[in-house]
Structure 1
């Protein structure tokens, strides 16, 4: 909750209570209820994951990719030398509650200025984050303060303490070239084969490493596979924590290929690419939407090959668009966490 704010009358639904929306999702009543969960990713995919996860646990930490070099984030990064704030802002917005305070602040931090001048395209939340960083002198402290203001249902941390670039090996017409920058990687023609980070072996955010080590569940995806999900495995200290943590690991697969990154990728190919970047990383659960899996037997075989099992469920919005429904996803994740599915 925001500083000095009291709970709304009636509070939140208690553990085991239904949300009333027919989803079956559980809303924890007090901090400490629900498993300790770390969600990895960035952008819209992580937003979808966090919007669901905040409905099933109060012990939630987002560890966010910091390689964005486009839009408002890219401008602030180039001008001020800061970690790009955009994906961090989106994660904080996703953790806002469904009450009036949460909805209002979520809209405010996501608001972009429209003008003919220098402010055009800047997101309010990006400016707030950078202002807090300059005022407090610490990346994590600034994010924690903004989280308190928003009443965020969880904590947001960068995966690295320095801004990063993504370098991708891209194959086109039989030739492989290297493309640098998140925007370029996402838009370049051809198929991305592998990614690396610049600088190589960047320092991890210590709080993010500790969160992974303390977690009971670590959730990969959904999201842009090469530019939001896999970069976490290229930060050495974070990658080591992801391999050695006693947490169980869950992969939430995308509902559609990412244009420019994973064109024509099957669900199995997403898992195969994950294995190629981290062959020793065991996966406990692979979650996929029933409606987008053409070969469930093949996907299950791939999941078992990674050490896990496949869960198929209806987690997409009913209108057929490639978006996860937060309440449906929350309900299924809750069942997985409590070993009911």
Structure 2
């Protein structure tokens, strides 16, 4: 029976309840919640049917075992009882009344049992357990998405993507050597956890308190100032579990994330860049501070081995997204792992690059969209994506003035050059203004919506 037929039956029952004056029994919202359990894909109806079949089979077994004697007397007793009822109350009244009473008892018992389950598994939230189950089933049917990058750009993207799929793999750079991550890397000898922490927090299943705790940054304390709790937690787990991969898996369980976060490599990678003026700069944070035009970028050791799970995720992906994020210090470091770039290039699935909205001083001064594409192609030697997503509207005058003071300008879209590079152009308004800082950011929800719409068309 379809959900529509069930709802029609429900309306008939509701009308009968009105006739009997039982309107206080159940609110429309509660009834609606109950019928959600009959929605397709939850695998509830089949188990209810199997349970009923089990009761029937067990009854038949009992009848066979006992020679049907108890069953015969029970049926005779039931027949006599029903006959007596019809002598007191006519069958055209007693019949519908018993049917309605039976249905009400079933609805009442099912609701009480389901409410008990809901309270046990989800006691604190306003959202009903059935709504969470429906959402969970929908997300599990989502496409297998691989997002490659780092920094705030990737974590912003993930925050939007998790609304559409639970099959997300974030492949994150481990070349960071600044801030809290850099200090832990130098002092503890661990891979930098900062970008990974941000991605884990973005994919967390709306556990607000845990996420805030993971992102909490110490502002006082000898040696603690500047560190985030999540970085320290990941560092401690790396020591306990033996490597960063196992530490991420443990943190993923704590935060109940949708999908998985994987480092591109477990090798201790350090970036270097050769500038147009001949300088050779070592270290991710030093490259940006050098304020020069980057000609070549590489890493030490060269050609680091990829994490096997990351390669496997790419080879199984339905949709691959590169960026957004700092071109030379967040995106390209992942592609300097040869197996990552080769795996992406080998896939015949929708692949798109999300270009930055503004140029980044010390990295992409004066860069157009095609310059970003050329830099990625040059770094890995492959054409990794089919299309590029760019911001469709110009930022406000106030934002332009603010950025111009920092020598940052909008990334211009040079259509002809992009088309000559064999890339399709996708334009949309995916920009937001951070109210705290005034900086431009990708809106995570509009960005994800545009990307999924483009994926569904390809």
- Whether the 8 Å CA contact 1:215–1:246 is kept in 2: the answer is no
TM superposition shift of 1:63: 0.4
Give distance in 1, aligned partners of 2:136 and 2:226. 37
- Whether the 8 Å CA contact 1:42–1:87 is kept in 2: the answer is yes
Which residue is equivalent to 1:18? none
Which residue is equivalent to 1:315? 430
Q: Aligned pair 1:164/2:282, yes or no?
A: no
Q: Aligned pair 1:34/2:142, yes or no?
A: yes
Which residue is equivalent to 1:260? 362
Q: Deviations over 1:278-335 (max 9, x none)?
A: 3432422211110257865x33x34433433111001011678421111111211120
Which residue is equivalent to 1:249? 351
Q: Deviations over 1:81-100 (max 9, x none)?
A: 11111111011111123x3x
Which residue is equivalent to 1:61? 169
Which residue is equivalent to 2:239? 134
Q: Deviations over 1:156-189 (max 9, x none)?
A: 0000112211101122xxx221101010012112
Q: Aligned pair 1:11/2:135, yes or no?
A: no
1:93-104 to 2 correspondences below 5 Å? 93-97=201-205, 99=206, 101=207, 103-104=208-209
Which ranges in structure 2 are unaligned for 5 or more consecutive residues?
Answer: 1-119, 395-409
Larger RCO (CA within 8 A; separation ≥ 6): 1
Give distance in 2, aligned partners of 1:167 and 1:30. 44
- Give the strand-richer structure, 1 or 2: 1
Larger radius of gyration: 2
1:1-341 to 2 correspondences below 5 Å? 6=122, 8-9=127-128, 10-12=130-132, 29-97=137-205, 99=206, 101=207, 103-171=208-276, 175-292=277-394, 296=413, 298-299=414-415, 301-317=416-432, 321-339=439-457
- Whether the 8 Å CA contact 2:160–2:445 is kept in 1: the answer is yes
Q: Deviations over 1:1-50 (max 9, x none)?
A: xxx96594153596xxxxxxxxxxxx774453221111111111111111
- Whether the 8 Å CA contact 2:344–2:384 is kept in 1: the answer is no
SS, match of residue 223 in structure 1 = coil
TM-score of the superposed pair, with normalisation by structure 1 = 0.86
| Counterparts in 2 of 1:44 and 1:282: CA distance versus 1, 3 Å | closer
- Give the helix-richer structure, 1 or 2: 2
Measured on the aligned residues, the alpha-carbon RMSD in Å equals: 2.3
- Whether the 8 Å CA contact 2:147–2:154 is kept in 1: the answer is yes
SS, match of residue 449 in structure 2 = helix
Give distance in 2, aligned partners of 1:294 and 1:60. 28
Which stretch of structure 1 is more off in the superposition, 303-312 or 109-118?
303-312
Which residue is equivalent to 2:24? none
How many residues are treated as equivalent by the alignment? 317
Give distance in 2, aligned partners of 1:279 and 1:136. 36
Give distance in 2, aligned partners of 1:279 and 1:304. 18
Give distance in 1, aligned partners of 2:294 and 2:200. 29
SS, match of residue 422 in structure 2 = coil
TM-score of the superposed pair, with normalisation by structure 2 = 0.65
- Whether the 8 Å CA contact 1:28–1:57 is kept in 2: the answer is no
Q: Deviations over 1:249-282 (max 9, x none)?
A: 1100101011211122122211121222234324
Which ranges in structure 1 are unaligned for 5 or more consecutive residues?
Answer: 15-26
- Whether the 8 Å CA contact 1:282–1:306 is kept in 2: the answer is no
| Counterparts in 2 of 1:302 and 1:28: CA distance versus 1, 3 Å | farther
Give distance in 1, aligned partners of 2:357 and 2:267. 31
- Whether the 8 Å CA contact 1:275–1:306 is kept in 2: the answer is no
